[in-house]
């Protein structure tokens, strides 16, 4: 069988030939993916197995590669947000805001406090959706469907809030240079209040279902552990790194969008196994809720939702029809006649999975000369073959699920 799948010079084929077990059984090759319902995305892993145990794994990625970096080199700056949406599509507002903040750093734009707080709220909502998906799907993969059904409706509630803010749900394309495209409607704040009231009890119930659950603990404790040193060497960031006990969080290390105004703790784990990753994400959801409450409480008065940067911020449409200056600005922005400095910028934000970085090189034209996305998934997924070595096949699924590898971010 194995000859059909792999050329004879492949290391698996050699190893199968060399290693014959005492009872006469031989090693086998299992193709996990590219499309498999348990991998939640399109990844292929060719596993070399001894019975139920995984000896080696060889990942293949790139099945949904869409050449975003190449497309970005041919697009004006404000048309790149839709590309960022599609990277980590579980938390697209974080990607959107990260991109706008990169441009604001490039153009030295100071965003008003209220717009920054609104951004914090929407980014934390996005983090909650990301963690809801990861943790509840981890539950599904260990055989607990109930928790998923409890909390998944709240993802829908968050999408309704997005809808009130920007009109879209999954791929949000939210915001503009300097703030938001429009002020948040009262309905958005009302939905947010309802969410803040209804979600915590459900999340508490979800937590109670899992955290002390014997079956869940048996399936996750000591499954796919990684040490802090190894994790850092592999470039881990975000919850997966914090589960190993390192308290690195971009929101604290390099506060952006006024994160320094809020009190929150950075939850850390200890052993870096699947259970710790689950617990860190759980705790982060509570912190995110607390940040949203603080942002709402501290929200400055008024209705400022964008910076006063007519060179880069599209004027309201009614002004374009009636006002000479607005028409000129509108034309200049749409035709890409705005001044762009020549610079190299790196801006990191704390995405759902870790440090999401935008490395932007400009040459003064209307499009980026080079735009590189530092995608956390792409970098830490390299450790996956090592993490599943010696594990059972069913553990490999759980580990993949707990790493929260999002195909869109992996392949960009």
- Work out whether 242 is an interface residue with another protein (CB under 8 A): no
Q: What is the largest CA-CA distance in the chain?
A: 86
On the 0-12 / 13-18 / 19+ scale of CB atoms within 10 A, 121 is buried
- Work out whether 227 is an interface residue with another protein (CB under 8 A): no
Q: Closer to another protein at the Cβ: 103 or 314?
A: 103
- Work out whether 248 is an interface residue with another protein (CB under 8 A): yes
With beta carbons less than 8 A apart as the criterion, state whether 270 and 73 touch.
no
Q: Closer to another protein at the Cβ: 124 or 355?
A: 355
> Across the strands, what pairs with 20?
26
- Work out whether 266 is an interface residue with another protein (CB under 8 A): no
With beta carbons less than 8 A apart as the criterion, state whether 398 and 107 touch.
no
| Rounded distance between C-alpha atoms, residue 175 and residue 261, angstroms | 22
With beta carbons less than 8 A apart as the criterion, state whether 368 and 362 touch.
yes
Q: Binding another protein by CB under 8 A: which of 62, 167, 300, 364?
A: 62
Q: Minimum distance from CB of 220 to another protein (Å)?
A: 25
- Work out whether 235 is an interface residue with another protein (CB under 8 A): yes
- Work out whether 344 is an interface residue with another protein (CB under 8 A): yes
With beta carbons less than 8 A apart as the criterion, state whether 155 and 132 touch.
yes
| Rounded distance between C-alpha atoms, residue 280 and residue 236, angstroms | 14
> Across the strands, what pairs with 56?
48
Stretch that binds another protein, among 1-9, 60-68, 265-273, 318-326 (CB under 8 A): 60-68
Q: Where are the alpha helices (DSSP H) in 167-273?
A: 186-210, 214-220, 228-233, 239-242, 250-253
Stretch that binds another protein, among 114-122, 161-169, 215-223, 340-348 (CB under 8 A): 340-348
- Work out whether 70 is an interface residue with another protein (CB under 8 A): yes
Q: Binding another protein by CB under 8 A: which of 27, 42, 57, 61?
A: 61
Q: Closer to another protein at the Cβ: 104 or 141?
A: 104
Stretch that binds another protein, among 287-295, 303-311, 338-346, 388-396 (CB under 8 A): 338-346
Stretch that binds another protein, among 148-156, 217-225, 248-256, 326-334 (CB under 8 A): 248-256
User: Helix (H, G, I), strand (E, B), or coil: what is residue 245?
Assistant: coil
- Work out whether 224 is an interface residue with another protein (CB under 8 A): no
**Token pair in block for residue 58:** 């060889």
- Work out whether 293 is an interface residue with another protein (CB under 8 A): no
**Token pair in block for residue 75:** 């697009």
Stretch that binds another protein, among 115-123, 228-236, 293-301, 319-327 (CB under 8 A): 228-236
On the 0-12 / 13-18 / 19+ scale of CB atoms within 10 A, 325 is exposed
Kindly report the number of other CB atoms within 10 A of residue 100's CB atom. Answer: 27
Stretch that binds another protein, among 12-20, 63-71, 290-298, 397-405 (CB under 8 A): 63-71
- Work out whether 334 is an interface residue with another protein (CB under 8 A): no
- Work out whether 382 is an interface residue with another protein (CB under 8 A): yes
Q: Binding another protein by CB under 8 A: which of 296, 372, 389, 393?
A: 372
Q: Closer to another protein at the Cβ: 67 or 149?
A: 67
Within 13 Å and on the Cβ side, how many CA atoms surround 207? 15
| Rounded distance between C-alpha atoms, residue 354 and residue 42, angstroms | 21
Stretch that binds another protein, among 13-21, 88-96, 130-138, 230-238 (CB under 8 A): 230-238
- Work out whether 370 is an interface residue with another protein (CB under 8 A): yes
- Work out whether 359 is an interface residue with another protein (CB under 8 A): yes
With beta carbons less than 8 A apart as the criterion, state whether 240 and 271 touch.
no
- Work out whether 251 is an interface residue with another protein (CB under 8 A): no
Kindly report the number of other CB atoms within 10 A of residue 362's CB atom. Answer: 20
On the 0-12 / 13-18 / 19+ scale of CB atoms within 10 A, 268 is buried
Interface positions with another protein (CB under 8 A) = 61-62, 65, 67, 69-71, 74, 105, 232-235, 246, 248, 253-254, 343-346, 348, 355, 357, 359, 361, 369-370, 372, 374, 378-383, 411-412
């Amino acid at each position: 069988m194995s000859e059909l799948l792999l050329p004879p010079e492949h290391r698996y084929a050699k190893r199968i030939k060399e290693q014959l077990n005492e009872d006469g059984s031989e090693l086998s090759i299992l193709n996990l993916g590219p499309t498999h319902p348990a991998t939640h995305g399109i990844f292929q892993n060719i596993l070399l197995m001894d019975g139920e145990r995984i000896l080696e794994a060889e990942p293949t990625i790139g099945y949904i590669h869409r050449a975003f970096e190449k497309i970005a080199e041919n697009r004006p700056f404000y048309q790149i947000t839709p590309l960022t949406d599609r990277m980590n599509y579980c938390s697209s507002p974080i990607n959107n805001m990260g991109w706008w903040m990169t441009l604001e750093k490039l153009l030295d734009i100071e965003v008003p406090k209220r717009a920054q707080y609104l951004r914090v709220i929407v980014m934390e909502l996005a983090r909650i959706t990301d963690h809801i998906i990861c943790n509840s799907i981890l539950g599904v993969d260990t055989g607990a469907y109930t928790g998923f059904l409890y909390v998944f409706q709240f993802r829908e509630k968050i999408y309704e809030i997005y809808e009130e803010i920007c009109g879209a749900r999954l791929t949000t394309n939210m915001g503009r240079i300097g703030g938001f495209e429009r002020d948040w409607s009262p309905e958005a704040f009302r939905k947010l209040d309802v969410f803040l009231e209804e979600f915590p009890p459900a999340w508490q119930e979800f937590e109670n279902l899992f955290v002390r659950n014997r079956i869940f603990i048996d399936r996750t404790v000591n499954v796919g552990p990684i040490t802090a040193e190894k994790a850092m060497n592999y470039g881990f960031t975000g919850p997966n790194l914090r589960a190993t006990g390192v308290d690195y969080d971009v929101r604290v290390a390099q506060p952006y969008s006024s994160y320094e105004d809020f009190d929150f703790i950075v939850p850390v784990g200890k052993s870096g196994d699947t259970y710790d990753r689950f617990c860190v994400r759980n705790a982060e959801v509570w912190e995110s809720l607390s940040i949203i409450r603080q942002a709402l409480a501290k929200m400055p008065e008024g209705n400022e939702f964008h910076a006063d940067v007519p060179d880069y911020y599209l004027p309201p449409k009614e002004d374009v029809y009636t006002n000479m200056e607005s028409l000129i600005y509108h034309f200049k922005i749409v035709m890409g006649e705005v001044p762009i400095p020549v610079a190299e910028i790196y801006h990191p934000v704390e995405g759902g999975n870790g440090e999401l970085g935008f490395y932007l090189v400009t040459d003064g034209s209307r499009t980026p000369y080079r735009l590189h996305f530092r995608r956390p998934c792409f970098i830490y997924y390299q450790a996956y073959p090592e993490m599943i070595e010696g594990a059972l096949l069913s553990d490999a699924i759980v580990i993949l699920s707990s790493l929260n590898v999002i195909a869109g971010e992996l392949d960009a």
